[in-house]
Amino acid sequence: MSQRLTVDVLLSLHRLGAPRGADDLVVVPVTTVDRDADRMLTRVDRLGDAGLEPFLGAGATAPEVAPDASAVAFLREVDGQKQLHSIEAAGGEARVLTDLPHGVLAMRWLPDASGLIAVAPLARSAPTLEGTRALMKDEAARQHGARTTEARLYRYWDRWLTDERAHHLFRVDRTGATRHLTFPLDAWLGLGPMVDLRSQLAIAPAGDLVVFSAASIPHGGEGEPALPRYALWALDPRREEPAIRALTPANPAADTGPVFVDQRTVVFGARSEPRDYASPPVLTRLDVESGVQTSISSDWDLAPASWTFHEGALWVVAEERARMRLFTVDPETGERRARTELAGSWGDPVFRDGGALALHQSIDHPARLTRVADGAILADPNADSLAGLTLGAVTEHTFAGARGDDVQLFVVDPPDAPAGPLPLVHMIHGGPHGTFGDVFHFRWNAHAFAAGDYRVALVNFHGSTSFGHESTRSIHGAWGEMPAEDILRATDWLVERGLADPERMAITGGSYGGYLAAWIPTLTSRFRCAIAHAAVTDLGAMLASDWTLGLDLSLGAPPTEDAARVARWSPSAHWRTHETPTLVIHGERDYRVPLSQGLGLYGALRAKGVPARLVVYPEENHWILRPANAAHWYGEVHDWLARHLR
């Protein structure tokens, strides 16, 4: 039998991070798995003539190349905190530049390469370096372990926010001299693993203005905003005590991702509805002196994901039909030009020798550094590992889903798939506003599922992103309606064409995908088994989630006001008709979909006598990240599928 993409192969692969560069110096973070130590290790490589070459050893992360290519700044742990380091591009010893009490989270170089602007947390109640250090000593001596709060937002992702830290900006010279810039500001620049803090900072070409996206805190007390709204702020980093001014205080929703396109103009992403995270940002030009704002992408039916500026043009990564595509956009007119084909997915570019380089990946191959103009592969550390693998065919289809609308479907076959129907496994994406698209996924890899001799279906149902804004918003207030119909219609389509064995079918999914894996069995018993990872199962109880802004919009009503309407689409209100054997998986530190959601599903099924299995990872969050746990997760998934589909 040919070598297949197993979890062991997945864990052996190199994972490339976003490249950074200036002039002819390009560096790339490379993450690998140390199975013996059960941890991920990141190093920084340098792009050479023959691909990637060693530059900074294990433990170096978040590299930033100086604008004159003279040095590389990066983060590395010192006494348990990630501190800012710098090394000359020519080599030598790296120097530690900071000793901040809670470390450094992100940074950007000043345009003249004299230093950097760094983001670091301080205690809200003592927002100075000395005050934060003193408070840390007091907390270490505290005998009780209670967490107390009166805020609405008190946890995020996998950590409690009751330690009450705020994000501050510091100017760090190349000598290590550090100056606090934002001591009057009580704000967050971003939260959790989904927010790239670096992208929330922009520095004017002359170095005399820093524009950043931040949300004032606290949240949820009397007279305070319930949850954060990000606005743009500005300061002059040259001043000893810079005045901080709000640039977009009246905008209704989040303003993020500022980039300078000239000395006094930034382009940022403006959202118009604070509760609707399905609404994409609109690229907006802002004159920082007059405050005049001009939308330049309001007529797009694409969703901009990230953007950077180079030589007169914005380079925008935008979602289109489950792929991330590169465009250039005129910052004055908004005129858009596609720079890549609709194949695979691209990341943010860097520029060398006048050309754009970016990471490119597909459902068949992890990210590799690629030249945008001609698709030439400049670095692929996984080429040898993947050369001996046999992957099944991937085909893209369109079928008539809910309302008769066209719905996209990817079908992934096992290697050497025989003719005729095969056991079918639906992999249902989360969000719900996301996709399973043309990307290489390490946690939910379609080829790794198909390696068990299953035909895998990836349906981008109503509510998915990248198929037009109306389609994305169409499921508000009816989570279980059109997406479930799309999954069931896709199943019919596959069975009718002789691709799926109707007696051996399963549904699997995580987060919102886990919701559908718990909801669809209340509608039909046609699936032999289900796998529900981090599944939302009790919609009203999602008030215990870390992030509840917009919950009423998603569910159709506030759970506190109209419980019956919310229960209409809640699996927990329909356990009576659920008879499908289900594997329930959850991380105990999942604060986005609390553990009780999974326990409720498992408890209901066992109370009914329906076969079920519970797997809980005490140290994991919404994602299963530790290598040993990831290997165990794939083992549980394949064992459950084999038990019910073989």
pLDDT at 505 over 90: yes
Helices (H), 349-435: 383-387
C-alpha neighbours within 13 Å on the C-beta side of residue 483: 34
Final residue in a domain of this structure, among 200, 218, 246: 246
Site of tokens 């790794």: 448
Each residue's pLDDT tens digit, 376-386: 999 999 999 99
Average predicted confidence (pLDDT) for the chain: 95
Each residue's pLDDT tens digit, 237-261: 999 888 899 999 889 888 999 999 9
Each residue's pLDDT tens digit, 83-114: 999 999 998 999 999 999 999 999 999 999 99
- Can you give the pLDDT at residue 207? 96
- CA torsion sign for 164, 170, 172, 176 is negative
Smallest CA-to-CA distance from 511 within 194, 226, 162 is with: 194
pLDDT at 227 over 70: no
Give 3's DSSP letter: B
- Whether residue 251 is contained in a domain is answered as no
Top-confidence range, 160-174, 192-206, 225-239: 160-174
CB 280, CB 469: distance < 8 Å: yes
- Can you give the pLDDT at residue 193? 59
The enclosing domain of 470 has a CATH number of 3.40.50.1820
What tokens does 250 get? 């009246």
Residues contacting 559, CB < 8 A, separation 6+: 539, 540, 542, 543, 551, 552, 566
Each residue's pLDDT tens digit, 377-417: 999 999 999 998 999 999 999 999 999 999 999 999 999 99
- Can you give the pLDDT at residue 563? 95
Top-confidence range, 190-194, 356-360, 468-472, 549-553: 356-360
Smallest CA-to-CA distance from 279 within 27, 465, 41, 555 is with: 465
- Whether residue 455 is contained in a domain is answered as yes
- Whether residue 364 is contained in a domain is answered as no
- Can you give the pLDDT at residue 151? 85
Smallest CA-to-CA distance from 176 within 259, 91, 80, 78 is with: 78
- Can you give the pLDDT at residue 224? 55
Concatenated DSSP letters for 281-299?
PEEEEEETTT--EEESSTT
pLDDT-derived band at 229, boundaries 50, 70, 90: confident
pLDDT-derived band at 188, boundaries 50, 70, 90: confident
- Can you give the pLDDT at residue 382? 97
Smallest CA-to-CA distance from 168 within 143, 192, 187 is with: 187
Distance, in Å, from the CA atom of 338 to the CA atom of 554, rounded to the nearest integer, reads 33
- Can you give the pLDDT at residue 504? 98
pLDDT at 25 over 60: yes
CB 569, CB 516: distance < 8 Å: no
Distance, in Å, from the CA atom of 212 to the CA atom of 234, rounded to the nearest integer, reads 6
Considering the chain, what percentage of its residues have pLDDT values greater than 90?
87
- Can you give the pLDDT at residue 252? 87
Q: Which residues of 186-215 are buried (b: 16+ CB within 10 A; e: fewer)?
A: bbbbbbeeebebbbbbbbbeebebbbbbbb
The three-state (H, E, C) secondary structure of 336-361, written as one string: EEECCCCCCEECCCEEECCEEEEEEE
Q: Where are the beta strands (DSSP E) in 263-332?
A: 265-270, 282-287, 293-295, 303-310, 313-320, 323-329
Q: Across the strands, what pairs with 20?
A: 27
Residues spanned by the domain of 182: 98-139+154-246
- Whether residue 569 is contained in a domain is answered as yes
Final residue in a domain of this structure, among 191, 216, 246: 246
- Whether residue 74 is contained in a domain is answered as no
- Can you give the pLDDT at residue 183? 78
Number of domains composing the chain: 2
Final residue in a domain of this structure, among 246, 271, 304: 246
CB 267, CB 238: distance < 8 Å: no
- Can you give the pLDDT at residue 241? 82
- Whether residue 358 is contained in a domain is answered as no
CB 284, CB 295: distance < 8 Å: yes
CB 352, CB 21: distance < 8 Å: yes
- Whether residue 606 is contained in a domain is answered as yes
pLDDT-derived band at 314, boundaries 50, 70, 90: very high
- Whether residue 281 is contained in a domain is answered as no
pLDDT-derived band at 539, boundaries 50, 70, 90: very high
pLDDT-derived band at 218, boundaries 50, 70, 90: low
